[in-house]
Amino acid sequence: MEITEIVVYKLNMKMKYPFTTSFGTEQDRQFLLVEVKNKEGLSGWGECVTSEKPLYIEEFTDSSWIMLNKFLIPQVLNQHIEHPEELQSLFSMYKRNNLAKSAIDTAVWDLYAKSKGIPLAEALGGKKSTIEVGVSLGIEEDIQVLLQNIEEKTNEGYKRIKLKIKPEKDVAVIEKVREKFPTIPLMVDANSAYTLADVNILKELDQFNLMMIEQPLTAGDLIDHATLQKQLKTPICLDESIHSYEDARQAIELGSGKIINIKIGRVGGLTQAKKIHDLCQKESIPLWCGGMLESGVGRAHNIAITTLKNFTLPGDTAASSRYWEKDIIEPEVTVDNGILTVPTDPGIGYEVNYDDLMKHTIEHKTFN
């Protein structure tokens, strides 16, 4: 594959509903798409799943824009690349910036699969033709609104419900949820809002038969999570603590959690995601695929990686309509009773609608 042109698009896309986590509320998504083109005129697409502000992770849309333009794109433009795994050595001298790296990595994987005429899932070694998915629900001021949201998503058939929590919006909320929905598959995500000083609150969550507690402690931490896991019956799932294969290996060795949420962006792309997958499979650590409120492009990559064997738990890849009035891909991602059918067309298996893309694009830059 010879990559002859790369286009970076900066988009603003308003979600249907605001989404509130322990770190803030987001409704206007600002993120990047990367299109890599080869001589034959094929396009591969990747999403840089940043936000306007560095609230979830240290990267943000403008920092990734610079990272891509100044450092990463020159590494791949007009290069001959046989396989997407070669990006590992092309990018390795640049530290972190995984969301930016992932945008190119995923686009090159898409282009690679398209050039072979096979679905991305197959190129990654995935075998599933359908995947089970859950949904992540934001914090609500009004508990009645939250209960209604849970009822709606449960009726739609999502395979598990994830609730965002933060201090003061935790035990009492989950207690009310469990009163109304005693048996639904339920988990919580704290996005690093607690410390070991809150161990008593976190222990109280043990009584609600939760599938897991996601990232209760500081982003990047492995040691305190290991201390906490020893005191909890509920499995801890790591999100913001896992940025690489080495993080995953050390987390498993330390016992920092029993489950890992893989986000393709956070680990720097599909090659790393697959490597972490293989390690976790060997170590009997179940996985699921996390979400970053993606457009259809990022969503398509999430679907493809979830077809790997050890993604045994339902992830956050809900239908396009849960986020968008109209997604930028065709067809849009649909979910039927919690089951998502993996596309079979080459590459990501969805077409980017160029008119819709340009409607949301505030700036774009072509490299050739």
Which residue ranges make up the site for ligand OSB (CB under 6 A)? 56, 136, 189, 191, 239, 290-293, 316, 318
Q: How far is the CB of 237 from ligand OSB (least distance, A)?
A: 10
Q: Which has the closest alpha carbon to 31: 363, 261, 319, 262?
A: 363
Location of structure tokens 């299109």: 35
Q: Which has the closest alpha carbon to 217: 232, 236, 198, 195?
A: 195
Query: What phi and psi, each to the nearest 5 degrees, are found at residue 83?
Result: -145, 145
263 assigned to active site: yes
C-beta of residue 81 within 8 angstroms of C-beta of residue 108: yes
# residues contacting Mg ion (CB under 5 A): 3
Type of residue numbered 306? T
Which residue lies nearer to ligand OSB by CB, 123 or 150? 150
Cα distances from 136 to residues 30, 164, 315, in angstroms, run: 20, 7, 9
Q: How many Å apart are CA 137 and CA 150, to the nearest integer?
A: 8
- Report the residue from 110, 170, 239, 356 that binds Mg ion according to the rule CB under 5 A: 239
247 is in an annotated binding site: no
Q: How far is the CB of 153 from Mg ion (least distance, A)?
A: 17
Instruction: State the first-to-last Cα distance of the chain, in angstroms, to the nearest integer.
Output: 15
Q: How far is the CB of 281 from ligand OSB (least distance, A)?
A: 22
- By a kind-dependent CB cut-off of 5 to 8 A, residue 242 interacts, out of ligand OSB, Mg ion, none, with none
214 is in an annotated binding site: yes
309 assigned to active site: no
Distance of CA 294 to the CA centre of its chain: 8
Residue number of the CB closest to ligand OSB reads 291
- Report the residue from 105, 189, 221, 327 that binds Mg ion according to the rule CB under 5 A: 189
Which member of 159, 162, 169, 263 is catalytic? Answer: 263
Which residue lies nearer to ligand OSB by CB, 191 or 320? 191
62 is in an annotated binding site: no
Q: Which stretch binds Mg ion (CB under 5 A): 157-165, 171-179, 186-194, 307-315?
A: 186-194
Q: Which residues, in sequence order, are bridge partners of residue 261? A: 288
Judged by CB under 5 A, the chain residues 46 through 105 that form the site for Mg ion are none
- By a kind-dependent CB cut-off of 5 to 8 A, residue 291 interacts, out of Mg ion, ligand OSB, none, with ligand OSB
Helical spans, DSSP H, in 93-197: 98-116, 120-124, 143-156, 171-180
Q: How many Å apart are CA 266 and CA 253, to the nearest integer?
A: 21
Burial class (CB in 10 A: 0-12, 13-18, 19+), 366: exposed
Which residue lies nearer to Mg ion by CB, 110 or 247? 247
Which member of 114, 162, 164, 166 is catalytic? Answer: 164
Binding site for Mg(2+): residue ranges? 189, 214, 239
Contact residues toward Mg ion (CB under 5 A) are 189, 214, 239
Catalytic residue IDs: 164, 263
